Amino acid sequence: MIGSERSPVLCPAESVTTAASELGESPLWDPAGVLYWVDIPGLRLHNVMPSGSGVSVGLDVRISAVELGPGDDLLAVTERGLAWLDPRSGRTSPVVELPLEPGARMNDAAIDPRGRCWAGSATHDHRRIGSLFCVAGRSVAVAARGLGMSNGLDWSPDGQVLYHVDTAAGNISAWRYRPATGEVSGRRVLRHVSSRVGLPDGLTVDAEGAVWVAIWGAGQVWRLDPVSGERLMTVDVPAACPTSCVFGGPDLDVLYVTSARQDGDGGLLYRAEVGVRGIPPRRFVEGF
């Protein structure tokens, strides 16, 4: 389906779950046939299968994002760094602590095409002291500084472009990316979202290279042209504050959307049939 900024394709989303999260975040498709996501303040890890059945476990620390690990454990983003997470028990064990500025905390993350974990930090008051870290095994590098709220990130299908959201600035940016070294350069703003419309939050990239961004406060997920930033499709979410999105299902053809509960609205997991497929999920490589 092809749309344009003047007439983007409209697509509705429907709820998958009935129990609401306070702040649902970080949807993650596991090829084993499970979709994971976290309720950050609720200290819960949820999962659901395409059949609709699922379970929820309590967490021993606050977790803002989860990614696939090299084995059965997930890689979790804690307030101060990364940890292994047993998805059956909810127990964690530290992997690496990250060099945060005072008052900053970790937020969203993603795995690059070579198995590095990229994770960003944020502050509650959006002071521009956030950083974007690249973790290769146990080695940590700072890729960017001066961020207000580092949020969603993902790569183009060929791995040559890194897309990244700074929610506080309202910017969805594109960087040139070198997969072999993990170096970024040539940042440009792909799309600025006015705070009058909403706030860009989590994102994912589809197999055609388009960028999908959850727009907090607008009740929408936008599909953007990766070159012009033009809006090609709008997914209407029956919640004011969608938080992130990911492709899942056996054929990676279902867009799953997490959300936050605001004024009694939202907090559920939603799904939409959008007519395109996602990129297979990547795993963190421990022995980098």
Q: Which residue out of 73, 201, 225, 251 is catalytically annotated?
A: 201
Q: Which pLDDT score is estimated for 172?
A: 99
Going residue by residue through the chain, which has 288 residues, state the pLDDT in tens, using 9 for 90 and above: 455 566 678 899 999 988 899 999 999 999 999 999 999 999 999 999 888 888 999 999 999 999 999 999 999 999 999 999 999 999 999 999 999 999 999 999 999 999 999 999 999 888 899 999 999 999 999 999 999 999 999 999 999 999 999 999 999 999 999 999 999 999 999 999 999 999 999 999 999 999 999 999 999 999 999 999 999 999 999 999 999 999 999 999 999 999 999 877 799 999 999 999 999 999 999 876
For 281, the enclosing helix (H) or strand (E) is none
Tokens of 49: 């299968």
Residue 251 annotated in active site = no
With contact defined as beta carbons under 8 Å apart, do 176 and 190 qualify?
Answer: no
Give residue-wise pLDDT tens across range 241-268. Answer: 999 999 999 999 999 999 999 877 799 9
Q: 3-class SS at 203?
A: strand
Q: Which pLDDT score is estimated for 88?
A: 96
With contact defined as beta carbons under 8 Å apart, do 27 and 251 qualify?
Answer: no
Give residue-wise pLDDT tens across range 68-101. Answer: 999 999 999 999 999 999 999 999 999 999 999 9
Binding annotation: 25, 105, 107, 125, 151, 201
Q: Please give the order of strands across the beta sheet that includes 81-85.
A: 63-68, 74-78, 81-85, 92-97
DSSP per residue, 50-91: TTS-EEEEE-SS-EEEEEE-SSSSEEEEESSEEEEE-TTT--
Binding annotation for a divalent metal cation: 25, 151, 201
Phi, psi at residue 213, to the nearest 5°?
Answer: -130, 130
The residues with which 132 forms a beta bridge, in sequence order, are 120, 144
Kindly list the distances between the CA atom of residue 213 and the CA atoms of 30, 164, 257, 275, in Å, as whole numbers in the listed order: 20, 10, 10, 16
Contacts of the segment 31-40: beta carbons below 8 A, 24+ positions apart: 31/280, 31/281, 33/250, 35/246, 35/248, 35/256, 35/269, 36/66, 36/74, 36/87, 37/66, 37/256, 37/258, 37/269, 38/63, 38/64, 38/65, 38/66, 40/64
Q: Residue 156: which residues within 8 A CB-CB, separation 6 or more? A: 163, 177, 205, 209, 226
The residues with which 67 forms a beta bridge, in sequence order, are 75
For 246, the enclosing helix (H) or strand (E) is strand 242-248
Binding annotation for substrate: 105, 107, 125
Q: Which pLDDT score is estimated for 24?
A: 98
Show the domains of the chain with their CATH numbers.
9-273 (2.120.10.30)
**Quick one: which of 144, 147, 156 has its CA closest to 104?**
147
Q: What is the DSSP letter of 217?
A: T
This model's pTM is above 0.75: yes
Q: Residue 15: which residues within 8 A CB-CB, separation 6 or more? A: 238, 268, 269, 270
**Quick one: which of 85, 78, 93 has its CA closest to 45?**
85
Q: 3-class SS at 188?
A: strand
Q: Which pLDDT score is estimated for 50?
A: 80
Other residues' Cβ atoms within 10 Å of the Cβ of residue 71: 9
Kindly list the distances between the CA atom of residue 278 and the CA atoms of 47, 94, 97, 136, 164, in Å, as whole numbers in the listed order: 19, 30, 31, 24, 17
